Amino acid sequence: MGVIDRDQEKALFEVKEFLVSIIGNAPYGIVAFDLEGEIILTNSFVIEHLGMKMSVNKAIGKNILDLTEKIPLLKTTIEKNMRKGRKKFNLPPLKINKRFMLVKGRSILNGTILVIEDITDLKSTEIKLEKQSKELSKANLKLQELDKMKSIFIASMSHELRTPLNSIIGFTGLLLQGLSGNIDEEAMSDLDIIYNSSKHLLNLINDVIDISKIESGKLDSHFESVKFDDVIEEVLSTVSKDAEKKDIKIKKKFPAGFIMVTDKRRLFQCILNLMSNAVKFTEKGVVELEVVKNSSVLKIAVKDTGIGIKKEDLPKLFKSFVRLDSPMETKTSGTGLGLYLSQKIMSSVFQGSISVKSVYGKGSVFTLSIPLNREV
């Protein structure tokens, strides 16, 4: 080791000043102390944020344990660390003068260095987020409750609506069958309108009930052995009246004597929906019901020669309460619930699907595909 000259001394001094100024102005607290706890180096961040009432220069030479008197957790941690000679320690956030400090300690050659970070902003964001997330889950719970209330409301409302309908449909039917005495032809056709309208209203109410059940996941289903012919006959007898009125010929093609395990009511509902749509949207021509069955799947296709569906309208078909603009709109009645319901029933009751092919102005084919794994 030689003697350093003045220039070298000056250069060293400058380097030291440079480093001291970096440390002094760092946005982190830095404090280094020796094995006895005597502070060798610190910066204004530490003085300010740990609440030490003195200048940086005055702090140097003081014992770290004396200066952390008011922060017991930090003091005892430093003490323990000095005693056991641990290499490093991390403290949980300390609250000092309403601010949150994160303190980390690391062993250096002959002492310890503490790095202190002000995490108040982070912490308050965290607290805010926590509060928001609590509020969100509260709001979510409330929404779920409201949704449940909505379903219960719809279910009980529909029940109440059906009670007077029982009388309207029943007594009109009684009159129509001449069971309450003779009725002339004109009154008979008026009664027919009452009867059909009340049946229509009943269907709407039933659709709404089914939808509320589907949306609350409570659609009931029960499977039993069903003669497929019976289902088809029931559908045909329901739609034949409307078809005759409009000069529509109904053709059918299906495997006779076929027995399947299915939910009869729901199957009937889906086929009827397609058939009555086909009749509704066809002025004259043919509505064809074709059923094809192989070992794993039953395909029920309903083909019409009606108005067809524009390509851009196809994706909207299966949404609830959607009725497409059509030249027949004013002439046809409906809620726009039928296909939505059929699709939901196909997927949730039968694990099946519904598909459509259509040429605008020419006609449409709707096909139900039902897996046959339940077949006996």
Partner 1 sequence: MKKVLVIEDNKNNMRLITKFLNKAGYETIEAETGEEGIRLALEKKPDLILIDIKLPGMDGLETTRKLKECNDIEAVPIIAVTSYAMVGDREQYLKEGFAGYIEKPLDPFTIIKEIEQIWKKSIQY
Minimum CB–partner distance for residue 226 and partner 1 (Å): 12
The DSSP bridge pattern shows strands 248-253 and 285-293 to be parallel
Sign of the Cα pseudo-torsion (300, 229, 344, 335, in order): positive
Minimum CB separation from partner 1 for residue 365, in Å? 31
Residue 277, class by beta-carbon neighbours within 10 Å (0-12 exposed, 13-18 middle, 19+ buried)? buried
Euclidean distance between CA atoms 105 and 32, whole angstroms: 10
Q: Give the shortest CB-181-to-partner 1 separation in angstroms.
A: 11
> Whose structure tokens read 């440079």?
18
Among 179, 186, 189, 294, binds partner 1 (CB under 8 A): 179
Kindly state the smallest distance separating residue 218's Cβ from partner 1, in Å. Answer: 8
How many residues form the binding site for partner 1 (CB under 8 A)?
20
Query: Which residues, 210 to 239, sit near partner 1 by CB under 8 A?
Result: 220, 222, 224
CA–CA gap between residue 87 and residue 356 (Å, rounded):
72
Q: How far is the CB of 175 from partner 1 (least distance, A)?
A: 9
- Compare residues 203 and 367 and give the one whose CB is closer to partner 1: 203
Give yes or no for residue 174 binding partner 1 (CB under 8 A). Answer: yes
Query: Residue 308 — left, alpha, or beta (φ > 0 → left; ψ -120 to 50 → alpha)?
Result: left
- Cβ proximity to partner 1: between 110 and 166 the closer is 166
58 versus 222: smaller Cβ distance to partner 1: 222
In this structure, what token pair is assigned to residue 255? 């495997």
Amino acid code (one letter) for 143: L
52 and 32 Cβ atoms separated by less than 8 Å? no
Q: Which stretch binds partner 1 (CB under 8 A): 90-98, 173-181, 238-246, 341-349?
A: 173-181
DSSP 312: G
Q: Of 128-167, which residues contact partner 1 (CB under 8 A)?
A: 159, 162-163, 165-167
Q: Using CB under 8 A as the criterion, which residues of the chain lie in contact with partner 1 when the complex forms?
A: 159, 162-163, 165-167, 169-174, 176-177, 179-180, 202, 220, 222, 224
